[in-house]
């Protein structure tokens, strides 16, 4: 425990260094209110962020679970940023990947809140008021992808083998896998859902992808010394993350879409207007963040039989 004079001296130094009078600050401390849970966590703001567009009670479940997902995406991005901005050794690198993995595990296991937690009839009524908005327009989900791997691994499977491995930023943009959900490939015409998304975020995406092209999780892993790259715990954590995001979460999402939008064998149109049955299944997109960590067979079987 530090002595009183120790702390007073440090405070004196701190305020002198910014030309401030310590006594005035001490008086301010005397008058200030103690911090409370509700001020710190901002509960009033948080609990006022839900604005349903209908009176169906289950719309609240839908809004809040999306908000929970966005908060977890933000937690993931914070870990990814720390890896990008530092040169962590294998122990901390592994810890960071495990944190990211755990957040995505939570997102995957909790997806049952969506699948089993809403009344199908209510969902199919309130969702009509949400057209043309779609989870497809989650910008943070795209940032997590740009922050996790190189752009080549996010290119539409149909073009991945023919585009240059060094493709970057603006030229890569039109060929990203998710363009397929919002574009008619014969006419090239984009849906409103995609155009509005790009108008709002395209510049940010290009800036972010330029910044992360050399320091996303995959690039940072490849820069590690050979013995670190061979570390079993790190490889396990990277593979776990890759599989959770690109197969397990995608499947939980796809199964949920089927639950609500495939009624009596008839496929309903999604709010974002994509050909979702094909688009959403991992076996078609074969998105893999860390391709060298999987065998050829594992890659061929990606998303099949799950
Ligand atoms: C009942 C629940 C849900 C259904 C039925 C559903 C359905 C869909 C469909 C059909 C698409 C394809 C695009 C379109 O045409 O709209 C899509 C895309 C997407 N949704 Fe959902 N979704 C649900 C919940 C969620 C949640 C909770 C999130 C979390 C943020 C989310 C995030 C996304 C993302 C990121 C995409 C783009 C995926 C990609 O490009 O592969 N969705 N969703």
Q: What is the CA(250)–ligand 1 centre distance, in A?
A: 9
Question: Average pLDDT in the 18-28 region?
Answer: 97
What ligand 1 atom has the least distance to the C-alpha of 181?
13
* Residue 305 pLDDT greater than 80, yes or no: no
5, 12, 81, 247 from 169: Cα distances, Å: 56, 50, 19, 25
What ligand 1 atom has the least distance to the C-alpha of 118?
1
Nearest-CA residue for ligand 1 atom 32 is 135
Q: List, in order, residues 6 or more apart from 49 with CB less than 8 Å away.
A: 67
* Residue 68 pLDDT greater than 70, yes or no: yes
When pLDDT is cut at 50, 70 and 90, the band that residue 63 belongs to is very high
User: 213-217, 266-270, 295-299: lowest mean pLDDT where?
Assistant: 266-270
Q: Which two tokens stand for residue 23?
A: 């006594």
When pLDDT is cut at 50, 70 and 90, the band that residue 7 belongs to is very high
* Straight-line distance from the first to the last Cα atom of the chain, in angstroms, rounded to the nearest whole number: 57
Q: What is the CA(44)–ligand 1 centre distance, in A?
A: 28
Cβ–ligand 1 distance for 274 under 6 Å, the answer yes
Fold of 61-300: Methane Monooxygenase Hydroxylase; Chain G, domain 1 (1.20.58)
Cβ–ligand 1 distance for 69 under 6 Å, the answer yes
When pLDDT is cut at 50, 70 and 90, the band that residue 166 belongs to is confident
User: 2-11, 147-156, 198-207: lowest mean pLDDT where?
Assistant: 2-11
Q: What is the CA(223)–ligand 1 centre distance, in A?
A: 34
Residue 293 and residue 239 in contact, taking contact as beta carbons nearer than 8 Å: yes
Highest mean pLDDT among 157-166, 227-236, 282-291: 227-236
What ligand 1 atom has the least distance to the C-alpha of 261?
5
pLDDT tens readout for residues 242-275: 999 999 999 999 999 999 999 888 898 888 888 8
Per-residue model confidence (pLDDT) at position 94: 98
Q: What is the CA(62)–ligand 1 centre distance, in A?
A: 11
Identify which has the larger pLDDT, 163 or 91: 91
Per-residue model confidence (pLDDT) at position 2: 66
Residue 245 and residue 289 in contact, taking contact as beta carbons nearer than 8 Å: yes
Per-residue model confidence (pLDDT) at position 265: 84
Average pLDDT of the chain?
A: 94
Cβ–ligand 1 distance for 173 under 6 Å, the answer no
Cβ–ligand 1 distance for 260 under 6 Å, the answer yes
What ligand 1 atom has the least distance to the C-alpha of 70?
30
Residues facing 262 on adjacent strands? 267
| CA neighbours closer than 13 Å in the CB half-sphere of residue 235 | 12
Cβ–ligand 1 distance for 114 under 6 Å, the answer yes
Per-residue model confidence (pLDDT) at position 260: 96
Q: What is the CA(268)–ligand 1 centre distance, in A?
A: 14
Q: What is the CA(298)–ligand 1 centre distance, in A?
A: 26
SS3 of residue 90 by DSSP: helix
Cβ–ligand 1 distance for 103 under 6 Å, the answer no
Per-residue model confidence (pLDDT) at position 1: 61
Q: What gap in Å lies between CA 28 and CA 16, rounded to an integer? A: 16
pLDDT tens readout for residues 185-209: 678 899 999 999 999 999 999 999 9
What's the pTM value of the predicted model, to 2 decimals? Answer: 0.94
């Amino acid at each position: 425990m530090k002595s009183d004079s120790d702390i007073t001296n440090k405070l004196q130094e701190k305020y002198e260094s910014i030309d401030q009078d310590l006594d005035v600050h001490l008086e301010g401390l005397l008058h200030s209110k103690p911090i409370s849970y509700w001020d710190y966590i901002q509960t009033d703001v948080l609990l006022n962020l839900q604005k349903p567009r209908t009176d169906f009670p289950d719309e609240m479940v839908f809004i809040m679970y999306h908000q929970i997902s966005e908060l977890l995406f933000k937690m993931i991005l914070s870990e990814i940023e720390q890896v990008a901005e530092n040169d962590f050794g294998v122990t901390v690198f592994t810890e960071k990947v495990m944190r990211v993995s755990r957040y995505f595990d939570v997102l995957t296991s909790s997806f049952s809140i969506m699948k089993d937690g809403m009344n199908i009839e209510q969902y199919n009524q309130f969702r009509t008021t949400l057209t043309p908005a779609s989870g497809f327009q989650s910008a943070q989900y795209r940032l997590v992808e740009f922050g996790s791997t190189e752009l080549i691994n996010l290119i539409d499977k149909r073009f991945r083998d023919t585009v240059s491995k060094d493709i970057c930023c603006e030229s890569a943009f039109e060929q990203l896998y998710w363009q397929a959900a919002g574009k008619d490939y014969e006419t090239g015409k984009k849906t409103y859902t995609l155009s509005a998304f790009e108008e709002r975020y395209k510049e940010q995406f290009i800036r972010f992808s330029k910044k992360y092209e050399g320091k996303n999780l995959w690039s940072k892993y490849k820069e590690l010394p050979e013995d670190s790259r061979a570390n079993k715990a790190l490889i396990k954590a990277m593979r776990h993350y890759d599989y959770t995001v690109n197969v397990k979460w995608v499947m939980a999402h796809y199964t949920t879409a089927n639950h609500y939008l495939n009624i009596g064998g008839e496929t309903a149109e999604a709010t974002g207007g994509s050909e979702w049955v094909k688009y959403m299944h991992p076996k078609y997109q074969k998105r893999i963040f860390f391709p060298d960590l999987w065998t050829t067979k594992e890659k061929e079987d990606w998303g099949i039989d799950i």
